[in-house]
Amino acid sequence: MKLAKFKVLSEADIRRIHEASLDILESCGVQLGSARMLAFLESQGLPVERDRRIVRFPRACVEDALVRIPQRFEVFGREGQLAFVLGEGRSKIAAGHNAVFWLDSQTGRTRPATIADVELFARICEELQAIDMIGIPVMPQDVPQPAHTLLYGVDAVIRNSSKPIFFSTDNPAINRAVIAMARAVFAGDLGSQVYAISQLSPTSPLFWEPGVLEAIMETVETGVPLAILPEPNAGVSAPFTLAGLLTVNNVECLSGLVMIQLLKPGAKVIYANSWTTTDMRNGAALVGSTETTICRIAGAQLARFYHVPSHTTAPNSDNHAHDEQNAWEKTFSLFAAVGAGNDLIVNCGMFATGLTCSHEQLVMDEEMAAMSQRIAAGIKVNAETIAGALIKATGPRGGYLDSEHTLKWLRSGEYIEPRVSVRGPAAVWQAAGAKDTPALARETVEKYAAHPGAPLDPQRSAKLSEILRDFAETPAT
């Protein structure tokens, strides 16, 4: 039996948040920075205040849009192979994304990220079993044009790994270029098959930037799914209460999902969330707090209520080091996200409130992901696993070490294999150098550094270079 999905909201709680959200959408609405989107929604019969750029969403419009959303969809790797199904009930784990700094393995100091960091990150992801998808981990700083840094991060990832990609930008031109890059390398049909997922976010509270709306309108036409990810900050851009934080997120997310379905009924979308709470003692925005973890569970419940695939961020930590706080915040956030049944969980390899990445953190986070997924998988109970006949045949004081049953189940997935966990007698550990988990992760990184990943063939590699070159000649916006 599988682990029962975590819940923090009752059915009545969900209904209250839903009803409050519908009321806000219908009576207050959201503000749009794009005249083109405003005009489109007005043409669809939605109430619009042109002078204030406010659009309101009647209940019937929201309900009609929600039933059009696909409940699940297939995701493919770079070479056209089926990678996984999103929305089937098992959490998929993605590494990255969108940090700025890198914790250097050699010096132990934080520094600006480089293209080489991203290339190695992608090659490691290619080898890690529990990583299903790759978000662009950082904005590398050693690029010709800093305004185009995301493109170089995308280029580094898709040249070195065959796994699907996850990206985010509020710049329509950059968004178009990323999609062009994905189309250039994907062995399948990007219009009908999913290789890349784009994340776009409103600005809390209740506002959509013009560039984001333009990117939505263009992305929908390409067939690339959109994860609508509000990022309300409790007490700053949303009410301080968790129920109020959930409601602002829900209103903003629903407004995005409805706009997309009006643009293209049946378009693939994801109900996403990246909760931020605030430490009112110092103003720090927190992504690894206990309260954000509670909301990860609630967000999955709301997504299931709407029958829409869900996405959240984890494992998250607000600490700046590979220490105990990092470990417990990450473990709680990731296990809660998996246990709640979020479909896509993004952020492996990141810490320091999502600002910093490290290769060692990626390796350690992947083991946390494997552990969380194993616990969620539960216990398989049938005649063979109970092994009643074997227990009787072995009898009192017998042994199981050399039984066929043990040999059969030894590598069946019944137990996960440790990656960098320290196990065994203290004397053995000390004799091997008494290395802690970050040190063992560093050794693993060094091992993977020699692996080629999944390099592109020369023809597709040349196409990527051409897109980058053409875009570099375009003035930065």
Interval 233-249: pLDDT, tens: 999 999 999 999 999 99
- Degrees to nearest 5, angle at CA 12 with 8 and 18: 90
Q: Are residues 302 and 368 in the same domain?
A: yes
Q: Are residues 39 and 85 in the same domain?
A: no
H-helix or E-strand containing 386?
A: helix 383-386
Buried residues in 299-327 as b, exposed as e (16+ CB within 10 A):
bbbbbbbbebbbbbbbbbbbbbebeeebb
- Rg of the chain taking only CA atoms, in angstroms: 23
Q: How many domains does the chain divide into? A: 2
pLDDT of amino acid 349 = 98
Residue 185: inside a domain: yes
Distance CA 466, CA 64 (A): 43
Q: Are residues 187 and 105 in the same domain?
A: yes
Residue 98 pLDDT > 60: yes
Q: Are residues 37 and 172 in the same domain?
A: no
Residue 475 pLDDT > 80: no
Helices (H) and strands (E) in the chain, counts: 17, 20
Q: Are residues 52 and 180 in the same domain?
A: no
pLDDT of amino acid 145 = 84
Distance CA 344, CA 7 (A): 18
pLDDT of amino acid 407 = 94
Q: Are residues 77 and 51 in the same domain?
A: no
Q: Are residues 102 and 124 in the same domain?
A: yes
Q: Residues 213, 261: contact at Cβ < 8 Å?
A: no
pLDDT classification of 92: cutoffs 50, 70, 90: very high
pLDDT of amino acid 41 = 98
Interval 372-400: pLDDT, tens: 999 999 999 999 999 999 999 999 999 99
| Other Cβ atoms within 10 Å of 180 Cβ, number | 18
Cβ contacts of 331 within 8 Å, gap of 6 or more: 315, 368
Distance CA 425, CA 332 (A): 27
pLDDT of amino acid 2 = 87
pLDDT of amino acid 338 = 98
pLDDT of amino acid 106 = 85
- For residue 148, the 8-state DSSP code is G
Distance CA 377, CA 90 (A): 9
Residue 407: inside a domain: no
Q: Residues 332, 314: contact at Cβ < 8 Å?
A: no
pLDDT classification of 105: cutoffs 50, 70, 90: confident
Indicate left, alpha or beta for 220 from its phi (over 0: left) and psi (-120 to 50: alpha): alpha
Mean pLDDT of 101-122: 94
Domain that holds residue 190: 73-377
Mean pLDDT of 203-221: 97
Mean pLDDT (the chain) is 95
Cβ contacts of 194 within 8 Å, gap of 6 or more: 73, 74, 75, 76, 86, 164, 223, 224, 225, 268
- What string of DSSP letters covers 223-262? T--EEE----BBTTTB-SSHHHHHHHHHHHHHHHHHHHHH
pLDDT classification of 280: cutoffs 50, 70, 90: very high
Interval 172-182: pLDDT, tens: 999 999 999 99
Q: Residues 267, 261: contact at Cβ < 8 Å?
A: yes
Rounded percentage of the chain residues whose pLDDT exceeds 70: 99
Q: Are residues 49 and 84 in the same domain?
A: no
Residue 330 pLDDT > 90: yes
Residue 147 pLDDT > 90: no
Q: Are residues 235 and 93 in the same domain?
A: yes
CATH code: domain of residue 186: 3.20.20.480
Q: Are residues 191 and 293 in the same domain?
A: yes
Q: Are residues 42 and 170 in the same domain?
A: no
